[in-house]
Structure 1
Amino acid sequence: MKITRSAVAAVAVVGALALAGCSDPGASDAGSGQQTAGWPAQDTKLDGTTLTIWAAQNSNKTPESVVQGFEKLTGATVKVVTIPDPYEQGIQTKVATGDKPDLAFWQPTASELTALNATTNLQTLDGAPWLENYTGNLKDITGLLDGKRYAALVTTPAVIGVYYNKEVFAKNGITSTPKSWDDLVALAKQLKAKGVDPFYEMGADKWATQWWVQAQLADAAKDGLWDKVNKNEEKFTDPTIQGSIDAYKKLIDDGLFNADIKTATFADQGDALLGGKAAMVMQVNSFFNELQASASTAELDKKIGFFPISPSGNVGTFIPDQSNALVAFKTGDAKREAAARQFLAYWLGDGYQDFVKAQSTVSLIKGVDTPSTVPQALKDVAASIDTSVGSMQALAVANPDLYLNLSDMIQGTKTPVQVAKTTQDQFAQLAKAQGAAGF
C-alpha cells in the first residue's frame, strides 16, 4: 500500500462542479448473496459482460483473488489495467477526455473525489449493503463528498505514526513507548547521546517528509484546524502549521536524523529500521509493506512495533490512499454500471474472506477474521484508526505540495518560512479554482 509521490501530489485545478443526476446504486448483501433493494445479488449471472479496473503499479495485484472468485461465480470477465505513475494525474487526464473504466482504485478523500469531479463522473454508493458491516467508524471517516458516498473502502486506511525497532529500544534500556511529542523528542535525544540514529528520513524520495508536520497537527486537526484552513480563516503561514514546520527543521538541525537524509531513499529507510541502524521512522502503512518484502511475519513481530503520536498523546493521523478504496464510474452502460456495483458488493461480501487471506491484510468487515499471518504492528495500526484524526489529504479541500516544499527545505533550497508561504499560495490557488468560499 505504498503512497507514492502522485498519491500526495496537488490535485488538478478543476472548475465549478456541475451537479448531475446520480445512477441508482446497486450491489448485494455483504456475505449473503441475496439481493438488497436496488442492488443486484452478488451471484447475478453476467456472461458476456466485461469490466475494466484501473489500478496503480502498487495496487494492480490487489484484486486478484476477488477477480477470480467473481468471474467464476458470475461468468463475467474482469480486466485489470495498470495506469503508469503518476497515477492520479494519469487518470484525471484520461477521464477529462472521456476515457473511463468501470472501476478504479482511488484515494477516497473529499479533495481527491473533487479532483475526479465525482458528481459528474462517479456512481454514488449510498445504501451499499456492506456499509453496516464495516468495523469501528470506518463507514463515516472517508469516501464521502458533500454528503454522498462515492468510494468503497477495501483495506485499512493508512495511519501516520512511528514504526520502531524493538531490539534497539531494548538494547538501550527503553521499556515503554512515548506518550506525547515531548516524550518522543526526549527519547530521541537520549538515543542520540548513546550513538544511535533516533530517526531515519528518506529525503531523496520526498513523499514521506510531510508526515513529520502532519503528526504534529493531530491535536489541532481534532479541534477543526482544516475547517479553518478550508475557509481561509487560518493559513499555513500562521503559528500552528508554521510552528510544526519549524519544529521538524529543528529536529534535523539537532542531528536527530540520519546523516545521509538528503540522499536516503524509501528502500534505505526500510533497511535502516529493520537492520537496527536507526531506532524510529515516521511513516504510513505502505512502509510496512516494504518491510514485509524483506522479512517474515515472525521476524517482524520480533523486531518492529508501532505507536501513533501527537503533541498531547497517542493520536494517529489517518490518510487513506488509492490502494485502500475503489470508485465506480458512470459509463452510460446501465448493465456494466450495475455489474460494477455487484463486483464491489462481492468484494466486500462473499469474496472478502479470500481477499484478506490472499493479501494478508487486516479485515474491515465484521465476521471476517484477520488472518494470523498479519503482523502485530499492522493490527496496532488498524486499532488506532478509531481514535485517529484526518490528515490534510483527508480534511482539506485541496492538497498542495507540502512534501515537495519540505524536501526543498531538507536540501537547503527553502527556509521553513518559504515552505509555509509556498504551500499556502498553492493551496489558495487550488481552493479558489474549486470555488471554495473565502478565496
Structure 2
Amino acid sequence: MLNALPQGIIGHDLNRKIFLFSSEAERITGYVQNEVLGRDCHQIFDNNLCGENCAFFDDKGRMPETHCSYDTTYKTKNGSFKEITMTVIPLRNERQETTGVLASLVDRTVLKHSHRRTEEPFRFGDIIGQDHKMQLIYDLIEDLSDSDVPVIISGESGTGKEIIAHAIHAASGRRDKVFVPVNCGALPEGTLESELFGHVKGAFTGAMRDKKGRFELAHTGTLFLDEVGELTLPMQVKLLRVLQHGTFEPVGGEKTVTVDVRVISATNRNLKDMVAKGTFREDLYYRLAVIPIDAPPLRHKKNDIPLLANEFLARVNRETRRNFSFSAEAMKTLVEYAWPGNVRQLQNAIQYATIKSRKEQVLLPNHFPHEVANAAAQLGQPGADGAFAHASRPGRKPKLNAAAVELALAKSGGNKAKAARMLGVGRATLYNFMNEHNGTLEDSHV
C-alpha cells in the first residue's frame, strides 16, 4: 500500500532508526531500502533532509503535538537538488506515548521549475531569450541538473557561452561549490599547463613557490574551459588523462593529485572538422562532448533582439540614472542588422549609442556605431514596389558588406537575383562577393 502512494514515506523511532522507507522515498532521496533500514537517519542524510526543522535536531525530541509541514531543498545521494514539501506526524502507541515519527515527502521540483518558467519564461539565470532555440537550451539545462556529465558549448564569439556554462553550474548539484573559468586560447602552452595543473617551487624560472592549478582550485566544483579548440595536441593528451582518471601531476612535481571536477568546455571552432584534420584528438572530443549545446548566433534569433536590447538599455539607465529609450527606427535598425559579434556586439552598440546621444534621451539609428548604421543605410527603406532605396549617390557602385548581403538574402528568402536588385548590384557581383565570403555568410543562404 505504501509503495502505491504518490508521496515518499519515511518512518523512524525515537533513536532515529529508520524502519519504513517507501519506493517514492527511494526515488526522491536516491537511496534504496537496504541502505537505510535500521540506520540512524542523521548518518544517512547528514541532517540534510530535514535540516534545522528536524524534530530530533538537538537530540531533545522536540516532537510536534499533531503535525508540521515545511518546504526544504534536499541534496540527493547523486548530488542533484530536490525541492521538497515535508510533513512530519508523530507516532503514538495506545497509551499516547510518542514512539517515533512518520515523514511524508512530496517532490515539488518539477512544479517549482514550471512556476519559474511561467513567471520568467524568457529568462534562465542570467540568460535572456524567448526564441524557441533558447527555450530548448533552458530545457536541457534543467535536464542536466541531475547529472555531472561533461558538456561542450559551441557557438560564435559573443553568443554567451560562458553565461550558459554558469547556468548549468548553478542548476547542478555543485551549485554551492566554485565555478572556475580559464581561457585556453589566451595563454601560451607553457603558461597554460601551469595554469591548469599548477607547479611546484623551482619548476621553472620564476616559480618561487608552489601554486595550485585551476583543476585543483575547482575540486568538487566546476571547471569551465573556454576556447578548448585552441589547445595543442600535447596539452590535449594531458587534459584527456585528467578526464579519464581524475589525476595529474603539477609542473615539475612527482606527487599525483586527485580531483573531483565537473568539466564544461566551449569553443567557437568546428571540433569535428578539426578531428577530421587531425588537429584535435577524437578521444578527447568524445570525452568533452557527452552533451553538446549549440549557442545560436543572434542573427538566427532576431525575435530576441528587442528583449536583449531593452534589458541592456535598462541596465544603462540604472547605472547612469538616465531614462534612455529607443526610437522605432533605432529598434528596427537593431533587429535588421546581422550582428557578426552577436550579443556582446549588441550590448556594446547600445552603450556606444547612449554615449554618442549626449543629452538626447531617445536613441536614433545614427547614434549606433558606423557599421550598424551603415548597414541599415545601405539597404534603406522599402519603397512602394518593394525595392530598396540606396544611400549611395547615383552612378556610384554600391559597396557590399556581409551584413547587408545577409539581410538582403534573408528578405528575399534566399533568392539571389532578388537580393542583388535590393542591393543595387548585378547578379555576378553578388555571386562573386558570396564566393569570396563563403565562410562568413549565413549558411542557409550560401
Bigger RCO (CA 8 Å, 6+ sep): 1
Larger Rg: 2
TM-score, normalisation: structure 1: 0.24
